[in-house]
Amino acid sequence: MSLKANNKMRVLGLDYGAKTVGVAVSDELMMTAQALETIPRDRENKIRHTLARIKDICDKYDVEKIVLGYPKNMDNSIGEQAVKTELFMAELKKRTGLEVILWDERLTSVSASKILDEGGVKGQYERKKVIDKIAAAIILENYLSSLK
């Protein structure tokens, strides 16, 4: 882990899915996570534009590490989506040159849905636009909390 001279760094949180990637970023003191955006994908196996967008975000925010949600099954086994996430992780490392940490994301979508309920976000279309970036923020918050 590389720390800057002023001990400030940013971490990117990602929620990787078949159709979208939710993105969140930490503050420089790694205390909080802010939901940034949801990157849409035309097809599941087309990730070139997704990787380019993530690289742009890493450069813009001077990100030094990526935390990638790891969708384990409830029984702790590894399913098809987890394998796809591992392949995406390898591509992320190649494209960004950054350390990528897999982080257990079980129940983050449930938590994100509760947050949207509490915030009064109604309608499937409105929820779909933000749920993945909220899930990314939860993944990142959980990681940051583990560092304390």
**Domain edges within the chain:** 10-147
Q: Is it the case that residue 118 has pLDDT exceeding 80?
A: no
Checking if the pLDDT of 65 tops 90, the result is yes
**Which residue, chain included where needed, has tokens 């800057």?**
4
Contacts of residue 107, defined as CB under 8 A and 6 or more positions apart, other chains included, come to none
10-147 maps to which CATH number? 3.30.420.140
User: In the structure encoding, which two tokens stand for residue 25, read together?
Assistant: 């970023």
19 has a pLDDT exceeding 70: yes
